[in-house]
Structure 1
Amino acid sequence: MPSPSPASRQHRSPKDTTSRRWQLGRWAVVLLAVLGLHWSAGQWLEHSRIGFEPPAAPPPVQIALLKPERIERQPVSPPSLSTSTSARKPVRPRSNTSTLSATPSTAKPTASAPETKAHADTSTSTSTSDQTSETGTTTGTATGSASNPHNPTASAAKAEPGVKFSVPPSGNLEYDSYYNGVRNPPGTIRWSTDGHQYRIAISIPLPFVGTYQYSSHGQIDAFGLAPEQYIEKRGRRVEDITIFNRREQQIVFTRTPTRLALPDGAQDRFSMLMQLSALVRGDPDAYQPGVTREFYVTDSDSGEIWPIQTIGDETIRTAEGLLHARHFRRLPRRADDTRRIDIWLAPSLGWLPARLMQTEPNGAEIELVWRGQSTAAGANADSAPASIRSPDPAAVSPDSLYNRP
């Protein structure tokens, strides 16, 4: 088929050019009309913006960073001197018995009875006045000692300033256990303290790998909980032990020959949980959203700073119903840290943990949700598992702890 000649192509070109220009002109008119409508709408919204103004944004959170510091310690009131004096000094028998026994058996009842009663009354009043005199003298002495600034006992009774700290009461706590949302046998936290020492044992059953068990015990010192020994046993693995040797001010491990300096306020993974609970329990208003407290926390082979931030108050669902709780979260410790720990403390439980969740780097979630308190709550330290009843760690040689390559 013959192709169009050049003259034919030149003859059709002006028509095509005119049509294209006409189309472009129409589109330009449409575009101008749309822009005009948008401009009109914008002017209308500008004049009516008061009715559509969004609510003011909340002020930015003021983040406060709290470092480990000494806790406030109230003085122990000395025992009452009057009580101790009366305990050491038995009350001397008065003349009641001697008067009655000295009454002649041949005496007339009418004459002896009033006399005996009179002697008894006199003896009773004398005893009362003597005891009152002793009590008054002791009270005056104690008051004078307390008011005397040069008295060492009075100066020792002054409170030591610091952050508020209130140790939670002992209890055997039960939790529903979940792994990736699947319910498992209940987990437990056994916590006991007498105000001077503490013990905590945690049991978390996990499918296929066995039960994870953690335990910690130690003293309560000027910085709060002061662990002496931390034991970690994951499933069927051999347990790892961390020793806080306060005599040499070192932290030593059975898993590694590494030794770390022991700073004030150092915690293990689970004493930190109760340390946080005691701090919040002592001063709940200090932990507002954004407030972050740092803890030096040791594991089974290392130690690092854990920044625990207050997220805010939330309502969580438990086996006993809804619980109001305060949410805390461990912030990333470094740029590549993807493991997360979330803690919820409930005021209705004395600020004990109501929910715990650890999110692993692979996305797996291990969770404990409050289930209740067992009838064995308040058990003493002797009921702790044998694994956490150990000799004084200060007396253990650090070299004897490292028993594996």
Structure 2
Amino acid sequence: MPLSYAADSSQALPGAATLPLRPWRWGLVAAGVVLAHAMAALWLVRHRDAFAPDIAKPPVEVALLTPERIAREPAPRATRTPAAAARAARVRREKAPQHVLQSIAPDAPRAAAQSPSADAATAASTRQGNASATTAAGGASADGAGTAQDKAVGVKFSVPPSGNLNYDTFYNGVQNAPGTIQWTSDATGYQIVVSVPLPFVGTFTYASEGRIDAFGLAPERYVERRGRRPEQVTTFDRTAHRIAFTRTSATLALPDGAQDRFSMVMQLASLVRGNPDAYRPGVTRNFYVADDDSGETWPIETVGDETVRTAAGYIGARHFTRAPRHAGDMRRIDVWLAPALGWLPARITQTEPNGTRIELVWRGPLAAPGAENASAQMTTGERPDVVPGPVPTREEP
């Protein structure tokens, strides 16, 4: 049987070899394949956007804002001065009829000579009181710069009310113990302390304190302590107009409106509180920010209104970002300011140059000393209706 199979096979092979070859068929097949690939490539080029992932495109820049003088509210001392001037003017007006009666006395010439001066003093006092009452300045800065007219004009600026906020913290995406932002402000100064506890490392603490001058928040001392490492201090010397560091012996010039890393957040919040409509998507404001060993200009861009998800529910907020400015720049800061919180931060993410990412997400206000933490009483889905200090009406996201 195997021999006969081999014989049959040998007889079949020559017959198969005698089939005519048609090279033109292979040419048609090759041309069809090339045409099909060309049509597919052309279709993909025309419809590639349908397969592209949804990437948030940066908004078109609308305006670039630089540090400007602010229109400040009157300080308590400034409010007393117009009242005193008004009282003095009222006393002079009450005495004015006596001069009129004296004008018919024998010493009328002398009284008449004194009356114009009294009237002039009354008018001057009235003008001074009106000017002081209508000025938007909150008192002269420490260096005494600026006149009443300078203080009455400037960008709108409203410092957030004092309050202690509780935040959920995340380190490289892993949730840790809650952190806090303790914010204190008044007509003359401010203080902010940010605490972020990290496991095995310790608590990261960032503290900034200073006063309020013609350009808004004016840091005087910024302290940064990371866990068990020694603290690093940045000093803003307003007298010498220099910025000094403990980490390096180098000093920098102190420009108007200079901020540290966290006073910049509150400076931005104060500007947005003053005029929210001015910060449309794409509007970018430059801040000169001093770190623990250097300083540079940070362009903070308005991304737009978004919804922040928190443990207590959803909060409408306006997103601001400092994106990388050049290749290899790993530092990034994103801030979401919420109207329901008086434009205080609902979320902050900070990416360090080494890629470390620290995130704070609003959890609720802290209760008064000795009381139970108010944020612990909230359940998922509750709205943040109770916030520290006077705040605008809560907006639905």
Identify whether the pair has TM-score above 0.5, normalized to the shorter chain: yes
Could you say if the C-alpha distance between residues 32 and 354 of structure 1 is closer, same or farther in structure 2, counting changes exceeding 3 Å?
closer
Q: Which residue matches 2:376? A: none
CA distance in 2, matches of 1:196, 1:189: 20
Q: Which residue matches 1:291? A: 283
Match for residue 268 of structure 1 among 260, 263, 267: 260
Alignment of 1:223-302 (within 5 A): 223-302=215-294
Matched, 1:218 2:210: yes
1:375 deviates by 2.2
Preserved contact between residue 231 and residue 239 of structure 1 (Cα < 8 Å): yes
Preserved contact between residue 145 and residue 153 of structure 1 (Cα < 8 Å): no
Q: Which residue matches 2:60? A: 61
How many residues align? The count is 297
Alignment of 1:62-141 (within 5 A): 62-75=61-74, 76-77=78-79, 78-81=81-84
Q: Which residue matches 1:172? A: 164
**Deviation larger for 156-165 or 260-269:** 156-165
Preserved contact between residue 285 and residue 301 of structure 2 (Cα < 8 Å): yes
Query: Which one has the largest radius of gyration?
Result: 1
CA distance in 1, matches of 2:133, 2:366: 43
CA distance in 1, matches of 2:245, 2:231: 11
CA distance in 1, matches of 2:166, 2:58: 39
Unmatched 5+ stretches in structure 1 = 1-11, 43-57, 89-140, 378-405
CA distance in 2, matches of 1:305, 1:284: 23
Q: Which residue matches 2:360? A: 368
1:183 deviates by 1.6
CA distance in 1, matches of 2:165, 2:154: 30
Q: Deviations over 1:183-206 (max 9, x none)?
A: 211111111011211111111111
Q: Which residue matches 2:319? A: 327
1:79 deviates by 4.2
Q: Which residue matches 2:22? A: 20
1:320 deviates by 2.1
Preserved contact between residue 82 and residue 130 of structure 2 (Cα < 8 Å): no
Q: Which residue matches 1:306? A: 298
CA distance in 2, matches of 1:149, 1:361: 54
Alignment of 1:123-202 (within 5 A): 145-147=125-127, 158=149, 159-202=151-194
Q: What letter is aligned with 2:328?
A: D
Q: Secondary structure at the match of 2:271?
A: helix
Preserved contact between residue 339 and residue 358 of structure 1 (Cα < 8 Å): yes
Could you say if the C-alpha distance between residues 31 and 367 of structure 1 is closer, same or farther in structure 2, counting changes exceeding 3 Å?
closer
Could you say if the C-alpha distance between residues 235 and 163 of structure 1 is closer, same or farther in structure 2, counting changes exceeding 3 Å?
same
1:59 deviates by 12
1:365 deviates by 2.4
Could you say if the C-alpha distance between residues 214 and 22 of structure 1 is closer, same or farther in structure 2, counting changes exceeding 3 Å?
closer
1:27 deviates by 3.9
Q: Secondary structure at the match of 2:21?
A: helix
Q: Which residue matches 1:50? A: none
Q: Which residue matches 1:111? A: none
Q: Deviations over 1:264-320 (max 9, x none)?
A: 001111111100110111111111111111111111111111111111111011122
Q: What letter is aligned with 1:238?
A: P
1:214 deviates by 1.1
Give identity over the alignment, percent: 58
Preserved contact between residue 86 and residue 126 of structure 2 (Cα < 8 Å): no
Could you say if the C-alpha distance between residues 218 and 362 of structure 1 is closer, same or farther in structure 2, counting changes exceeding 3 Å?
closer
CA distance in 1, matches of 2:329, 2:282: 20
CA distance in 2, matches of 1:150, 1:374: 42
Q: Secondary structure at the match of 2:349?
A: strand
CA distance in 2, matches of 1:356, 1:31: 55
Alignment of 1:390-401 (within 5 A): none
CA distance in 2, matches of 1:152, 1:191: 30
Preserved contact between residue 166 and residue 282 of structure 1 (Cα < 8 Å): yes
Q: Secondary structure at the match of 2:264?
A: helix
Alignment of 1:1-16 (within 5 A): none
1:81 deviates by 4.1
CA distance in 2, matches of 1:366, 1:150: 50
CA distance in 2, matches of 1:152, 1:347: 32
Matched, 1:315 2:315: no
Q: Deviations over 1:129-169 (max 9, x none)?
A: xxxxxxxxxxxx98874457998998876552111110000
1:247 deviates by 1.0
Matched, 1:347 2:339: yes
CA distance in 1, matches of 2:313, 2:270: 24
CA distance in 1, matches of 2:154, 2:349: 31
Provide the aligned C-alpha RMSD in A. Answer: 3.9
1:339 deviates by 2.2
Could you say if the C-alpha distance between residues 201 and 32 of structure 1 is closer, same or farther in structure 2, counting changes exceeding 3 Å?
closer
When normalised by structure 1's length, the TM-score is 0.64
Could you say if the C-alpha distance between residues 150 and 363 of structure 1 is closer, same or farther in structure 2, counting changes exceeding 3 Å?
closer
